[in-house]
């Protein structure tokens, strides 16, 4: 990602009389005089290099006139200080970050190098304007008191840029700078854990590329404490849902797009697989604990959409994505305030089971465990084992553990990748595959409500081999 913050800053021009230090670390004179202490040593060195007498005389004469050579000896190395009249352009920012004043360029108006002046009366107020430790070309040492004239010039652009690290650019020169906190930059909406900007879905609903890629580019006017008012250009900023409702709308939008691309019948099992795979590909959704909800997906299309009917048809028509044929199909009907015990026994046409095993990677929240408790109670408290992953709702973990201990559930925790994708209920020795499992039961106060779902009974030879290999006892 790239962030560019811009603002206009003023350029002031200062004409002054004073002393300036020009840095000439790469000057040939500096290198020439290394390890040389006298005029004799210098001449001998130049003769050995094959320089002509006239050239040697010219070098020695210049260094003598500059005061480098005095009385036959080198005087404190090669001097850099100048005294004279100068014109200095200064960038002035209205905050102290990333700078308050910065030297732009200096011009000699009437400079007299290497002359010695004493008793200069320094103008301290103006000296505060010209301090610039980041300037590697020159340094203003002194400005004579009351001999400076300041005029305002044109404005120029200051750029503050983030590309892996923060820097600022002024007058086409780049400088390192201290970091700007992303949470301050994005008004408290930066998620440090995922490294993404939290946004409402409506903010990007008109940007299909941003919805799919979860990266957003946009322009904004912002104000940052200590940096002032800036125009901001944000490119490829990682984004994520701000709230649970934003996550639901956003995820369903992406899922709908995948369904529309397929443009065919999709079974509930395949839809569950699409949901799970999409959740793996978009890990920023995982913190919201979105649970697969077939009816919610249907509602997202609406009955006027052909995709609604392509999905709806798979409830009543079988099979579409599965070549296997079940021995039996148990149908749970929609119902409000149902007697769950009779509801389940009548649907499965079984007597009180002795053993119940549920293999379901998505038993991860309190509502599902509350539904599981009702199911176990309705079945007459059979020996129950669940195979699932870690609980996602940490805030309700103690309540979930209370349910597990109270009704003596054996819980086998595995990594999601080690649990078969299909959801299975094993009732005694009968293997039922379902797409919704515990999600077909909702609890409203003390009332139990069921949603339309199916459980398909398979022969052992038709069961997913990965399930049979799992240690679930």
pLDDT tens track for 371-429 = 999 999 999 999 999 999 888 778 889 999 999 999 999 999 998 888 888 889 999 98
pLDDT of res. 27:
59
pLDDT tens sequence across 102-113: 998 999 888 765
pLDDT of res. 225:
83
Q: Are 278 and 252 in contact (CB under 8 A)?
A: no
Q: Which of these ranges, 92-101, 208-217, 315-324, has the smallest mean pLDDT?
A: 315-324
CA distances 365 to 268, 385, 397, Å, are 22, 17, 8
pLDDT of res. 318:
41
pLDDT winner (highest mean) among 31-45, 172-186, 262-276, 456-470: 172-186
The overall average pLDDT reported for the chain is 85
Phi-psi domain of 447 (left: phi exceeds 0; alpha: psi -120 through 50; beta: other): beta
pLDDT of res. 79:
53
pLDDT tens sequence across 258-272: 888 877 777 777 788
pLDDT band at residue 254 using 50, 70 and 90 as cut-offs? very high
What CATH number is given for 328-469 in this structure?
3.30.870.30
Calpha distance 83→160 (Å, rounded): 35
Calpha distance 14→106 (Å, rounded): 9
pLDDT of res. 321:
40
pLDDT band at residue 98 using 50, 70 and 90 as cut-offs? very high
Please, which residues bridge with residue 234 across strands? 3, 218
Other beta carbons less than 10 A from residue 84's beta carbon: 17
Calpha distance 192→365 (Å, rounded): 24
Calpha distance 54→57 (Å, rounded): 5
pLDDT of res. 2:
96
CA distances 276 to 5, 300, 416, Å, are 39, 18, 10
Q: Are 389 and 413 in contact (CB under 8 A)?
A: yes
Other beta carbons less than 10 A from residue 44's beta carbon: 13
% of the chain at pLDDT higher than 70: 91
């Amino acid at each position: 990602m790239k962030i560019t913050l811009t603002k206009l800053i003023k350029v002031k021009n200062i004409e002054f009389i004073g002393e300036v230090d020009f840095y000439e670390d790469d000057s040939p004179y500096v290198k020439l005089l290394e390890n040389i202490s006298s005029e004799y040593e210098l001449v001998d060195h130049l003769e050995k290099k094959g320089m002509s007498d006239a050239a040697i005389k010219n070098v020695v004469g210049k260094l003598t006139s500059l005061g480098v050579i005095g009385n036959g000896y080198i005087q404190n190395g090669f001097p850099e200080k100048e005294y004279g009249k100068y014109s200095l352009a200064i960038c002035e920012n209205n905050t102290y970050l990333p700078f308050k004043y910065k030297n732009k360029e200096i011009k000699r108006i009437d400079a007299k190098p290497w002359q010695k002046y004493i008793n200069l009366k320094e103008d301290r107020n103006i000296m505060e304007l010209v301090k610039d430790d980041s300037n590697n070309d020159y340094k203003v040492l002194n400005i004579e008191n009351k001999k400076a004239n300041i005029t305002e010039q044109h404005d120029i652009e200051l750029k503050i840029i983030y590309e892996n690290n923060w820097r600022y650019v002024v007058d086409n020169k780049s400088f390192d700078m201290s970091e700007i906190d992303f949470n301050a930059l994005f008004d408290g909406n930066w998620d440090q854990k995922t490294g993404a900007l939290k946004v409402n879905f409506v903010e990007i609903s008109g940007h299909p590329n941003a919805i799919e890629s979860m990266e957003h580019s946009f322009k904004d006017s912002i104000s940052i404490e200590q940096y002032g008012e800036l125009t901001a250009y944000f490119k490829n900023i990682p984004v994520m849902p701000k709230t649970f409702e934003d996550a639901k709308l956003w995820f369903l939008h992406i899922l709908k797009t995948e369904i529309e691309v397929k443009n065919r019948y999709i079974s509930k099992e395949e839809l569950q697989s699409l949901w799970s795979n999409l959740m793996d590909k978009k890990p920023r959704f995982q913190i919201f604990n979105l649970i697969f909800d077939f009816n919610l997906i249907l509602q997202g299309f609406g009955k006027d959409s052909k995709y609604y009917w392509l999905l709806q048809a798979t409830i009543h028509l079988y099979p579409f994505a599965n070549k296997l044929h079940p021995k039996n199909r148990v149908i749970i009907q929609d119902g409000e305030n149902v007697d769950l015990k009779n509801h389940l026994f009548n649907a499965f046409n079984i007597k009180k089971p002795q053993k119940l095993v549920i293999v379901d990677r998505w038993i991860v929240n309190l509502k599902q465990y509350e539904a599981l408790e009702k199911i176990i109670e309705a079945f007459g408290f059979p020996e129950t084992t669940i195979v699932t992953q870690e609980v996602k709702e940490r805030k309700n973990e103690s309540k979930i553990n209370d349910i597990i201990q109270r009704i003596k559930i054996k819980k086998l925790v595995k990594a999601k990748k080690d649990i078969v994708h299909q959801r299975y209920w094993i009732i005694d020795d009968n293997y039922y595959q379902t797409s919704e499992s515990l999600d077909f039961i909702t609890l409203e106060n003390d009332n139990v409500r069921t949603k339309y779902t199916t459980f398909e009974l398979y022969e052992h030879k038709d069961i997913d081999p990965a399930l049979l290999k799992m240690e679930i006892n």
